[in-house]
Amino acid sequence: MNRSWNLLAPAGFLLTLVAFLSYFIFFARYPFTRDFPWASLLLFAAGLGLVAVGLRRAFRQTERYRGKLSGTVLAVLSVLVTGLFLTYNFYLSAQLPASEGAPRVGQKAPDFTLPDTEGNQIALSALVAELGEQETAQDNKKRGLLLVFYRGYW
Any residues with CB less than 8 A from the CB of 135 and at least 6 apart, and which? 141, 142, 143
- Kindly state whether residues 90 and 110 are assigned to the same domain: no
Looking at the structure, do residues 153 and 127 belong to the same domain, yes or no?
Answer: yes
pTM score? 0.64
> Which of 105-109, 139-143, 145-149 has the weakest average pLDDT?
139-143
Count up the domains in the chain and report the number: 2
Residues 121 and 153 in one domain: yes
Same domain, 59 and 116: no
The answer to whether residue 22 scores a pLDDT higher than 70 is yes
Read off the pLDDT band of 149 (50, 70, 90): low
Residues 84 and 37 in one domain: yes
Pair (107, 90) in one structural domain: no
Tell me: do 105 and 73 sit in the same domain: no
The pLDDT score that the predictor gives to residue 130 is 82
> Which of 94, 113, 129 represents a domain boundary (last residue)?
94
Q: Which residue range is the domain that position 142 belongs to?
A: 100-154
147 shares a domain with 124: yes
Query: Residue 72, Cβ neighbours under 10 Å: how many?
Result: 15
Contacts of 68 (CB under 8 A, 6+ apart): 58, 59, 62
| CA end-to-end span of the chain | 56
| Confidence bin at 142 (pLDDT 50/70/90) | low
Handedness of CA 121, 127, 128, 133 (dihedral sign): positive
Do 22 and 69 lie in one domain? The reply is yes
Q: Are residues 36 and 76 in the same domain?
A: yes
Distance CA 110, CA 131 (A): 17
pLDDT digits (tens, 9 = 90+) for 50-108: 999 999 988 888 888 878 888 899 999 999 999 999 999 999 888 877 777 777 777 87
Q: Residue 19 has what pLDDT? A: 97
Of 51, 74, 94, which closes a domain? 94
Query: 47 with 89, same domain?
Result: yes
Residues 6+ positions from 125 with CB-CB distance below 8 Å: 111
